[in-house]
Amino acid sequence: MSGPLDLSLTEAVGATKSGGISTSELVRAYLARIARWNDTYHVFLDVLEESATRRARELEQLSAEEREALPLYGAPIAIKDNLVLDRGSTTAGSRILEGYHAPYAATVVERLERAGAVVLGKANLDEFAMGSSTEHSAYGPTLNPWDPARVPGGSSGGSAAAVAARLGLAALGSDTGGSIRQPAAYCGVVGLLPTYGRVSRYGLIAFASSLDQVGPITRTVDDAAALLAVIAGFDPRDQTSLHEPPPAVFPEASVKGLRLGVLSSYPDGMDPVVRAALEQTMRALQDAGAHLVPVELPEPTRALAAYYVIAPAEASSNLSRYDGVRYGLRKDAEGLYALYDETRAAGFGTEVKNRVMLGTFALSAGYYDAYYGRAMAVRKTIAEGYDRIFGQVDALLCPTTPDLPFRLGERLADPWRMYLSDLYTVSFNLAGLPALSVPTGLHSGLPTAVQVAGPRLSETLLFRIGRAIESVAPPMPAPDLKEGGAA
């Protein structure tokens, strides 16, 4: 593979603005690759070929001055299918929304298109973003572009696989407990969890509203910065939106003089390959002038337990709107409660049902204080712990995941082992902090990654450190896609 698909987001935008390649040529190249590989890797649930082609032609009619004003001019981008769009279908990976057509577009999608981007299609995901492998999609799993016998991570597995496999120049995902960063790590791309409230959630189909955040998945740190600069900013339609300007687009890459917190100990079960990649990155950043300061993550195992009480509790409330009356699937039944029961039984998958029941139990009379109340107390303790850490260091360097991409089906019968994939990611959602996953190379053909996190609104600092990590890591090649998928 060579040509326009090798360009990064910033390179492609520069090429389309200069006339080196037309927006139609760029979009056609991506649509052709999607047509070639999507049936194998199952990255997109809905490919918007007609509207993407039309949009590319419309952009070509703009004057040079109008093109120059668009920071994403001609960029073909994939959208996770829990972001509503006023064309095509929006399913959130669930049968209960099969065939649903939204009447409006999410704020982040509006901002992308105002900046000149072209939406290629809706990417696959775990149903309602509940999962760590994209195996819980009602429409079948997405395969990892590096090894189609393995998962791409989740829940934004389709978005991450699209960027890695060159089926999209960049993508948007959502992150509730690691759902951008974990699949980015498994697919060898960059993934950012922004500060909670930095990016509007208007038009994002809710999973856990106090945790959900929309963010970019890209090939490079600069691309993530460019995408965040477009989608960030206050939105009056989201009551949690912050009155903060977008962060700087292209920060410096030096880490000289920065205090980076590093783990003084590791929880059990960490893959030695992941640990070795992290420690190699630590040494390289130290050689580049960073000061490494040992720290302890605040309650990593308790954070995971708290998350799996709080997130299902919020999901049980958010998913109550899917009742067979207002939109989506409707099953014929005798009586209102029978309608609810039969519609939800047919429309929701097993993982969603499990989490809704868990959340309903945690909020029920007699158990609220024992479970939800205690989980919220742990959440407060974790946030206070990070306040103390970031009083000592500028940023924190840790694993994104404790392991390499696992095999399809390997953890479906062991939910707790599946949930452990989020061990190093959920605490930043609980505290509302930004975190960036950056690839560090390949080991036996599989990607490794590290995560850098910081205090609220420190995305510019994270991009600076992320660029430094890129400078000391081997460049990530394009994966060699295999015909026929998993062996």
What positions carry a catalytic annotation? Answer: 80, 155, 179
φ, ψ of residue 83 in degrees (nearest 5): -105, 120
Dist CA 187 CA 140 (whole Å): 18
Q: In Å, how far from its chain's centre is CA 449?
A: 15
- CA pseudo-torsion sign 458, 106, 164, 266: positive
Dist CA 19 CA 87 (whole Å): 29
- CA pseudo-torsion sign 155, 161, 163, 167: negative
For the packed helices 23-41 and 9-18, what is the interaxial angle rounded to 10 degrees? 150
Dist CA 194 CA 432 (whole Å): 8
Dist CA 375 CA 310 (whole Å): 7
* Length, in residues, of the chain: 487
Dist CA 394 CA 269 (whole Å): 28
Dist CA 449 CA 186 (whole Å): 8
Kindly state the DSSP code that residue 79 receives in the 8-state scheme.
E
Dist CA 412 CA 134 (whole Å): 11
Neighbours of 161 (CB within 10 A): 36
Neighbours of 445 (CB within 10 A): 9
Neighbours of 383 (CB within 10 A): 15
**Phi/psi-derived region of residue 206, left when phi > 0, alpha when psi is between -120 and 50, beta in every other case:** beta
Cβ atoms of 328 and 97 within 8 Å: the answer is yes
- Sheet containing 446-453, strands listed edge to edge, beginning at the edge strand earlier in sequence: 44-47, 118-123, 76-80, 170-174, 214-218, 190-193, 435-443, 446-453, 395-399, 259-263, 291-295
Dist CA 465 CA 255 (whole Å): 6
Cβ atoms of 127 and 401 within 8 Å: the answer is no
Dist CA 439 CA 428 (whole Å): 19
Cβ atoms of 274 and 403 within 8 Å: the answer is yes
**Residue carrying the six token digits 């740190």:** 221
Angle at 328 (CA atoms; ends 326, 329), nearest 5 degrees: 110
